[in-house]
Amino acid sequence: MSSDVDIAAPGIGLPEGDEAEAPPGVWRRALDNLKTGNLGILPIVLGLILIIVFFSFKATNFFTADNFNNIIVQMAGLTMLAFGVVFVLLLGEIDLSIGYLSGIAALAVAEFQLPGSGHAYPGVVAIAIAVGLCALIGSAQGSVVAYVGVPSFVVTLAGLLIWQGVILQVLEVKGVIVIQDNLINDLANYYFSPHAGWLIAGIVTGLYLLGTLGGVIGKRRARVKIQRPLLIVAKVVGVAVACFGTVAISNHAKVPSGLPLAGVLVVIFLIALTYLAKRTPFGRHVYAVGGNAEAARRAGINVARIRIIVFMISGAMAGVGGVILAARLNSVDLNVGGGTLLLDAISAAVIGGTSLFGGRGEVRSALIGALVIATVSNGLDTAGYKTGTIYIVTGLILLFAVTLDTVARRLQVRSGR
Amino acid sequence: MSETPVLQLRGISKSFGSVQALTDVDFEVRHGEVMALVGDNGAGKSTLVKCIAGTHSPDSGEILFEGKVVHIHGPKDASKLGIQIVYQDLALADNLDVVQNMFLGREERDWLWRLREPVMEQRTGETLSSLSVTTIRSIRQPVASLSGGQRQSVAVAKAVLWNSKLVILDEPTAALGVAQTRQVLELVKRLAEQGLGVVLISHNLHDVFEVATRITVLRLGRDVGVYERERTNQQEVVQAITAGIPTKVAGIPETAPELAT
């Protein structure tokens, strides 16, 4: 093999790309991927389809446009928390405080909009305070991890207890705080008109198309080979189908008709955080620190700074999720931030394919995992199962997903020669 | 020699508590040469490298880089000067691909804070082919799937990509098989051919004699002497490593003469 050929054809996106054998390439690649455990999101998407088919037969009012909208709103808050979890897991750390941290955000947003309390601010300001507070708490916890060296498990476990305590202290006196601010409540209760929905689907698809085209043009300019052009086209078509399909179903819903704002917020954060993780130096450094912190340090990366920012993101996303969860109930009570929220958020990220060992995962895995958890929980609920069953099934799915990840890891090590 | 050496250490001493790790060590590397640094375990090789890298600061003595006195206080200072150290345990992130590792910590980005992947990919390809690293199938595959020799090549190529003037290789062939060792030694030669100063730290005298221009021997924290490869043999160097200078009493090498001419 001559050197020029090898080096001139480096444009291969996935590890197993073997451009030299082009004709049977697709199948070989698929086989290679299977053998090396690089399954991507395929198993989880198949699983999701199975779950949907199962419940569609099991419960009559599951496979309806109304319930579709319902699931979107149910999962929105959880997904936001899970987005933050992905970043923390990428570092190989854990954040146990996010459940009650989201409760703190809910409490703050309710408190700072409360009419007649002397500190009733407009909804936007209340939301900003709530999210900012959580970001601050997150970075404080991250600083203890990064500078003092206390394991994140312990720091955030302490956070879990502390923020639960704070919520109990405050709400023991107040009981329930009702959220009257329309802007805050709209976060989980506003539905776009059909036309606005189509417009949003068009904008999202257009942005994705522009981003893809930009990448292709950049590669052309640098004379780097574009790999698998068909896959790129397929991805654009896939995004378009997903966007317009979602809007089409949402517009069919009767009771609250139209695309829910909460779903749009999830997509906005999905895009922004994916950009951060995959397209910026910061995101690259997060992956590097998660993969090999020592190598990152030697490359001149400020590892402590990366850790703190990641815990700040985790805190902020818990804040955003908390505000949406509070908006959905229009109120805050003693149970806020509790229950299975924390474990659901971590499960979502892991089920979606983010590794617990750091360095491997995608932002979108949070969305996919949350979709699975919300669908199972909603389906079992609709079919009339008890809460206990929901927990058992979710647990089994989690176990299955992590087993798959561990096996995949072992295969990758083995194929790594 | 009329040419200024790329790196010159004069009278470096370093002690850790009561342990005298380095005593009055002189060391120099010229452009375009491979300077081997050899010595038994505990001779002070790693301490010397850490002084150059800025991990330790010497108690006395001075470091000259291209004729100017410099103070190095950490990996960032060293890399700013153009000193790149390739460590034994390979400072690569396994989960990142070759391009991502090559640019780690110095990513190219545009005004949107966006990584300029095509540019980085192109430059990685150019650098690797300039060093004739041909065995890597795709520079978009994760480093985890590369062989030991390929990983070492990537780590070395990183130094070239960043326009380093001095590359220090700490036991680059320690964990490699015969073919891969050959591959890495070829790469070391090519680095020197490109005009870089190369420091090769190795226990393997066979490797050293294959690529080194000159050999500095450290023993018990002192430099025993500098040997030109052309005018010496393995026996002489082994003796210097184990017993100091043959004409002197073993263990008192401070009167060691400069053997290089």
Contact at CB, B94 and A11, closer than 8 angstroms: no
> If you average pLDDT over residues A203-211, what whole number do you get?
93
Q: Which chain A residue has the Cα nearest residue B55?
A: A298
> If you average pLDDT over residues A162-182, what whole number do you get?
92
* Best B107, B129, B137 residue to mutate vs chain A (most A CBs within 10 Å): B137
The answer, yes or no, to whether residue A285 has pLDDT greater than 70, is yes
The answer, yes or no, to whether residue B111 has pLDDT greater than 90, is no
pLDDT at A16: 36
Residue B54 CB burial class (10 angstroms; 0-12, 13-18, ≥19): buried
At A30, the pLDDT band (50, 70, 90 cuts) reads: low
Contact at CB, B141 and A19, closer than 8 angstroms: no
Mean pLDDT of chain B, nearest integer: 84
Query: A296 contacts in B (CB within 8 Å)?
Result: 93, 104-105
Highest mean pLDDT: which of A133-142, A204-213, B92-101, B146-155?
Answer: A133-142
pLDDT at A2: 37
Q: What is the pTM of this model?
A: 0.85
Contact at CB, B95 and A14, closer than 8 angstroms: no
At B136, the pLDDT band (50, 70, 90 cuts) reads: confident
In the numeric block, which tokens belong to residue A196? Answer: 């606005």
* Best A298, A356, A417 residue to mutate vs chain B (most B CBs within 10 Å): A298
The answer, yes or no, to whether residue A169 has pLDDT greater than 70, is yes
* Best B84, B104, B129, B151 residue to mutate vs chain A (most A CBs within 10 Å): B104
Query: A287 contacts in B (CB within 8 Å)?
Result: 93, 95-96, 100
pLDDT at B109: 86
Strand B166-170: give its sheet, edge to edge.
Answer: B83-86, B166-170, B197-201, B34-38, B214-219, B222-228
* Residue A8 to chain B, least CA–CA distance (Å): 7
pLDDT at A15: 37
Tens digits of per-residue pLDDT, B112-124? 888 888 889 888 9
pLDDT at A139: 97
> If you average pLDDT over residues A358-362, what whole number do you get?
89
Say which of A4, A285, A299 has its CB closest to residue B91. Answer: A299
Residue type, A103: G
Query: B113 contacts in A (CB within 8 Å)?
Result: 280-282
pLDDT at B3: 75
Q: CA dist B212 to A70, A391, B48, B189, B229, Å? A: 72, 66, 18, 8, 7
| Residue whose pair of structure tokens reads 């399954």 in the numeric block | A39
* Residue A191 to chain B, least CA–CA distance (Å): 32
Q: What fold, for A45-190+260-415?
A: ABC transporter involved in vitamin B12 uptake, BtuC (1.10.3470)
Lowest mean pLDDT among A30-44, A250-264, B43-57, B206-220: A30-44
| Residue whose pair of structure tokens reads 């389906």 in the numeric block | A379
> If you average pLDDT over residues A229-249, what whole number do you get?
91
Tell me the CB-side half-sphere exposure of residue A322, using CA atoms within 13 A.
Answer: 39
Contact at CB, A222 and B119, closer than 8 angstroms: yes
The torsion region of residue B44 among left (phi > 0), alpha (psi -120 to 50) and beta comes to: left
Of the two residues A318 and B204, the one the predictor is more confident about is: A318
At A346, the pLDDT band (50, 70, 90 cuts) reads: very high
Say which of A9, A10, A360 has its CB closest to residue B95. Answer: A360
Q: Give percent above pLDDT 90 in chain A.
A: 61
At B90, the pLDDT band (50, 70, 90 cuts) reads: low
At B200, the pLDDT band (50, 70, 90 cuts) reads: very high
> If you average pLDDT over residues A277-306, what whole number do you get?
92
- Say how far apart CA A350 and CA A237 lie, in whole Å: 27
Residue A36 is given by DSSP the state T
The answer, yes or no, to whether residue B172 has pLDDT greater than 60, is yes
* Residue A284 to chain B, least CA–CA distance (Å): 8
- Say how far apart CA A27 and CA A31 lie, in whole Å: 6
Say which of A19, A222, A291 has its CB closest to residue B94. Answer: A291
The answer, yes or no, to whether residue B31 has pLDDT greater than 70, is yes
* Contact call for residues A377 and A387 (beta carbons, < 8 A): no
> If you average pLDDT over residues A292-320, what whole number do you get?
93
Number of H helices, E strands in chain A: 17, 2
For chain A, which residues make up each domain, given as ranges?
Answer: 45-190+260-415
Q: What fold, for B7-93+166-255?
A: Rossmann fold (3.40.50)
* ipTM summary value: 0.80
The torsion region of residue B28 among left (phi > 0), alpha (psi -120 to 50) and beta comes to: beta
Contact at CB, A417 and B145, closer than 8 angstroms: yes
The answer, yes or no, to whether residue B251 has pLDDT greater than 90, is no
pLDDT at A10: 35
The answer, yes or no, to whether residue A187 has pLDDT greater than 50, is yes
